[in-house]
Structure 1
Amino acid sequence: MTEEQEAHRGWSAVRKGHLSRLRFTSLRLRLVVVFGAVALTAAVSASGIAYWLNREAVLTRTQGAVLRDFEQEMQNRAGSLPEHPTQDELQHTAGQMANSSQRFSVLLVGEDANGRKVYGNSAGLNGFSLDDVPKSLRTAVNKRQDVTDGNKSPYHLYWQRVVEHGTPYLVAGTKVIGGGPTGYMRKSLEPEAKDLNSLSWSLGIATGLALIGAALLAQAAATTVLKPVHRLGVAARRLGEGRLDTRLLVSGTDELADLSRTFNRTAEALEKRVDDMAARDEASRRFVADMSHELRTPLTAITAVTEVLEEELDAESGSIDPMIEPAVRLVVSETRRLNDLVENLMEVTRFDAGTARLVVDTVDVADQITFCIDARAWLDAVDLDAERGIHARLDPRRLDVILANLIGNALKHGGSPVRVSVRESAEDVVIAVRDHGPGIPEEVLPHVFDRFYKASASRPRSDGSGLGLSIALENAHIHGGEITAANSEEGGAVFTLRLPRDASELVDPGEQGARGGSGVPGGPGAQGAKAGKDNKGDA
């Protein structure tokens, strides 16, 4: 058997096992099984009791009639025989006794005048014989009992049921009181056995019909019960998919109707709550966006002034008073920081509003990383391990933002040198950014991509806005990629960026056609070198 056949066989076994578990855990199946088990138990119990009662009634009635007739014949006919009858007399009397209404075989045993055993058989020499009578019955019949106030007779009538060659018989015997022959009787119970067999078949058929009826009833009950449950399940799935206007049609006053009403009330409350939260969220996003837009105008003017002041600071003329030089530098730094914060807030609002779009182009990953490092004057602090010729269809501007934030974060919070390595696979490009710092505390790792999260609560204010890594992660997600953070076994933190080789499928064709793109490092999407050494990303 080949590996492919083995795999197919294994998958078939897994699928069959899964389907069998689904069938076994089906509520409909369990209802049918429970109904069937209850019906089968009830039907078998009722049939067994009915069969037992009928069997006892039939056998008791037949047995009583036969024994009464035999006892009467023994008294009337065998009792009239002499104490020592001849064989002919016994034979004749046995024949007369056998002609009674019950039609049984008779065997008479006596002693003649010479003391010899003589026998009279109603069926001839080959018929009913003494060997056909159980030994225990013969012993009981011939045993003389003491006559007391409670026992008026020394001999009694005894009977026993036996089966010979598959045919049931009733065998009885008694002795003539006062002297005379001993009589034995054998009556075939085959007609009664056939009647009881027919009764058992009838009860078995009735049990089968009851089981089928119970299964049909269970199916109908399951359908009645499970149909509302199925509708409730469908409605719950639709509600989970975000269709908050889903409601159930309620009819009746039973528990399922109450459950449907509860579902409707819950869905209505959830819809109202989500609408309220969406409205507040939209208002918050609109406020941030409006605030960011409103801040851009004064910031543009302030930035122009700070650029002039910065040029004056760098000028050799020394036109700025040394006493106010630190304040001027602080204003320049804080203005640049405020400008970056506004840009980040606007980017965040675009992600939240779902308006962020990709503009992809074919880029050389190594060239893109080199430009990002060179534009920010990080060449001396970053080691690049990337081969040229690794091409991918990505958004150059967004890739530059991701790289700037990851490398800047490593330089700011890690330790030099920062090593950037690139490896490729058939579908992905993986970029790893590792620093040589103390690493990220374990309790901080789950939160490094949270917005405005600062690793140290004692330093709530820092050079970054706390949005850089969050924006980098959003830019990776919009490419269909991912960023993970971990600590290296050799020390330091490692951020791993995984992007698809081709993100074209995620681009709106109309958007791409309208906006175009550039794969040249430093093109329209890339952050310029103007940021310089102060643009180090956010943590």
Structure 2
Amino acid sequence: MSVTAWRGSPQFVWTFWRRSIQARVVISTLLLSAVVAAVVGWVLLDQVSDGLVDGKTRSSVAEATRGTVDAQRRLSGASGTEFDASAQLTQLVASIVQRGQVQGYDVVLTGPVAGSSEGVAAGSGTRNSQGVRSDSIPQRLRGEVEAAVFTGVGWTYTEIRYDPSIGKPSVPGVVTGSQLLLPADGGTYTLYYLFPMTEQERTLSLVRRSLITGGSLLLVLVGGLTWLVTRQVVTPVRLARRVAERLASGRLEERMHVRGEDDLARLGMSFNQMAASLQKQIRQLEELSRVQRRFVSDVSHELRTPLTTVRMAGDVLYDARDRFDPATSRSAELLQKELDRFEMLLTDLLEISRFDAGAAVLELEDVNLADVAHRVVEATRALAEHKGITVRIRADAEPCIAEVDVRRVERIVRNLVSNAIDYSDGSDVLVLVDSDEHAAALAVRDHGIG
């Protein structure tokens, strides 16, 4: 898997998210800012849209009212002998259409309304601006305007449709309707003004693009500022982490670089003081450990010479014990055993000093673990008899051969058996020895509290 593919994996993204405070703060701030910007933009756009639509509606109704009043005044001022009904309608529609072309609206004239004059003189039908379709007028508005008791101007929103031949797309708009009385035949006609909202759509589109552009630039600015601010906070924290890792690896002289006097600077000073205190205490512990190792080494070596002398005298007494009285002979035997024990303790001290100095080496040889178990049981027999405990060995008749450092293994087994005897609840202590073709094992089992 390539490095690029690995970096793009979800696991890497999740790990980066969990480990980077700066990334979490920047991304969270951007998400919240985006939500706030979207809500504010939506509210502003809704208010602008409502304002544009309301303004267009009021101006459309006012313009339709003026146009209707002017058209009715001109119709009322013409006598029936001067113009016939058809000529009146044609002249009226022509003037209104011409005015609509200048001011940007379309006109539809229908009639006569059922129940008024038959309209024989003028003829029934629809007259409109070029290309506009009469089905752009909703049926609800038609019914309202064509009612016998209708007065004033009615309006509603609609979609203004055009004939495909003129190549104009449909647009949303406001349509108003009113009644006209034609004096020539006494018929009532309905006059509809259709005001397209093309300019309002352009304005909304401009506002929408402006909000998107401004919101995007604002998000970039907020993201940059958040990254800069978090970087100023996170950088000292990351530096402290690196210094702490170096301190943990043993480089106790590492310290943070402190600049300024703000809270982060005081944190760095406190961190350096803590590191200096830890370094001082560790140095003291190391010095105490060195003194302790030196003491153990010196004591173990210094005791070796007098122990040798006492051992020689003890061997002489032990060899001549048959010529002593029973009490003196028993004392010689006890002296020999305690010398053996003391020599083992001294050997342990020497072993500890070798381990501390890093000079301990394994002395491997093939031994029978059953023999090791028997020697340990024999060495701890006096302690077991004093506690009233029996130490038993369970081993196969076949030798259990293993390549080990017999001195160290025997010491370990002796410690296990001694602990088992000391903390036994009175039950027997069992030493198990077993092996197969691949491994050998020696275990100590007791029923005590430990």
TM superposition score category, shorter chain reference: 0.7 to 0.9
In structure 2, what is the equivalent of residue 451 of structure 1? none
Describe the shift of the 1:375–1:73 C-alpha distance in structure 2 as closer, same or farther (beyond 3 A): closer
In structure 2, what is the equivalent of residue 88 of structure 1? 87
In structure 2, what is the equivalent of residue 460 of structure 1? none
- 5 Å matches for 1:253-292? 253-292=261-300
**Offset of residue 89 of structure 1:** 1.5
**Offset of residue 184 of structure 1:** 1.3
1:402 aligns with 2:408: yes
Describe the shift of the 1:407–1:123 C-alpha distance in structure 2 as closer, same or farther (beyond 3 A): closer
What do residues 470-493 of structure 1 show as CA deviations (whole Å, max 9, x unaligned)? Answer: xxxxxxxxxxxxxxxxxxxxxxxx
Specify which of 134, 137, 145 is matched with residue 133 of structure 1: 137
In structure 1, what is the equivalent of residue 108 of structure 2? 107
Does structure 2 conserve the Cα–Cα contact (< 8 Å) formed by 1:78 and 1:181? Answer: no
Tell me the SS of whatever aligns to 1:184.
strand
What do residues 150-208 of structure 1 show as CA deviations (whole Å, max 9, x unaligned)? Answer: xxxx7232322222564212111234699964321112222332332243233323333
In structure 2, what is the equivalent of residue 47 of structure 1? 41
In structure 2, what is the equivalent of residue 32 of structure 1? 26
Identity %: 20
C-alpha distance in 1, partners of 2:296/2:346?
9
**Offset of residue 82 of structure 1:** 3.6
**Offset of residue 382 of structure 1:** 7.3
**Offset of residue 433 of structure 1:** 0.7
Does structure 1 conserve the Cα–Cα contact (< 8 Å) formed by 2:110 and 2:126? Answer: yes
Describe the shift of the 1:187–1:376 C-alpha distance in structure 2 as closer, same or farther (beyond 3 A): closer
What do residues 216-262 of structure 1 show as CA deviations (whole Å, max 9, x unaligned)? Answer: 44443443333222211111211222222221111234443333233
Describe the shift of the 1:17–1:208 C-alpha distance in structure 2 as closer, same or farther (beyond 3 A): closer
In structure 2, what is the equivalent of residue 339 of structure 1? 343
1:70 aligns with 2:64: yes
Does structure 2 conserve the Cα–Cα contact (< 8 Å) formed by 1:407 and 1:418? Answer: no
**Offset of residue 309 of structure 1:** 1.3
Task: Tell me which moved more, 399-408 or 82-91.
Answer: 82-91
Tell me the SS of whatever aligns to 1:159.
strand
C-alpha distance in 1, partners of 2:333/2:363?
39
- 5 Å matches for 1:508-523? none
**Offset of residue 373 of structure 1:** 7.0
In structure 1, what is the equivalent of residue 383 of structure 2? none
In structure 2, what is the equivalent of residue 162 of structure 1? 158
C-alpha distance in 2, partners of 1:341/1:407?
15
**Offset of residue 418 of structure 1:** 4.3
C-alpha distance in 2, partners of 1:416/1:132?
107
Does structure 1 conserve the Cα–Cα contact (< 8 Å) formed by 2:160 and 2:171? Answer: yes
- Opposite residue 23 of structure 1, the aligned amino acid is F
**Offset of residue 344 of structure 1:** 0.9
1:421 aligns with 2:415: no
What do residues 100-152 of structure 1 show as CA deviations (whole Å, max 9, x unaligned)? Answer: 3523122334549843374563426x6453x432122234435577xxxxxxx
Does structure 1 conserve the Cα–Cα contact (< 8 Å) formed by 2:376 and 2:413? Answer: no
Describe the shift of the 1:306–1:237 C-alpha distance in structure 2 as closer, same or farther (beyond 3 A): same
C-alpha distance in 2, partners of 1:223/1:432?
59
- Opposite residue 103 of structure 2, the aligned amino acid is Q
**Offset of residue 274 of structure 1:** 1.8
Specify which of 286, 304, 307 is matched with residue 296 of structure 1: 304
- Opposite residue 197 of structure 1, the aligned amino acid is S
- Unaligned runs of at least 5 residues, structure 2: 162-169, 379-391, 422-427
What do residues 45-96 of structure 1 show as CA deviations (whole Å, max 9, x unaligned)? Answer: 3332332233233333333333322211111222332499824323322322
- Opposite residue 434 of structure 1, the aligned amino acid is A
- Opposite residue 401 of structure 1, the aligned amino acid is R
- Opposite residue 341 of structure 1, the aligned amino acid is L
Does structure 2 conserve the Cα–Cα contact (< 8 Å) formed by 1:78 and 1:93? Answer: no
- 5 Å matches for 1:159-238? 159-164=155-160, 166-175=170-179, 181-238=189-246
In structure 2, what is the equivalent of residue 23 of structure 1? 16
- Opposite residue 434 of structure 2, the aligned amino acid is S
Tell me the SS of whatever aligns to 2:343.
helix
C-alpha distance in 1, partners of 2:133/2:414?
117
**Offset of residue 400 of structure 1:** 1.1
C-alpha distance in 2, partners of 1:417/1:65?
109
Q: Which has the larger radius of gyration?
A: 2
- Unaligned runs of at least 5 residues, structure 1: 1-7, 146-153, 445-539
C-alpha distance in 2, partners of 1:417/1:60?
101
C-alpha distance in 1, partners of 2:172/2:291?
96
Does structure 1 conserve the Cα–Cα contact (< 8 Å) formed by 2:351 and 2:360? Answer: no
Root-mean-square deviation (Å): 3.8
The structure whose residues are more often helix, as a share, is: 2
C-alpha distance in 2, partners of 1:54/1:95?
36
What do residues 383-440 of structure 1 show as CA deviations (whole Å, max 9, x unaligned)? Answer: 465577x7x6xxx6xx112332245456665768844334565xxxx431135x5x25
In structure 1, what is the equivalent of residue 50 of structure 2? 56
C-alpha distance in 2, partners of 1:377/1:277?
39
Does structure 1 conserve the Cα–Cα contact (< 8 Å) formed by 2:374 and 2:393? Answer: no
Tell me the SS of whatever aligns to 1:208.
helix
In structure 2, what is the equivalent of residue 123 of structure 1? 129
Does structure 2 conserve the Cα–Cα contact (< 8 Å) formed by 1:141 and 1:156? Answer: no
Does structure 2 conserve the Cα–Cα contact (< 8 Å) formed by 1:369 and 1:403? Answer: no
Describe the shift of the 1:62–1:357 C-alpha distance in structure 2 as closer, same or farther (beyond 3 A): same
C-alpha distance in 2, partners of 1:405/1:17?
55
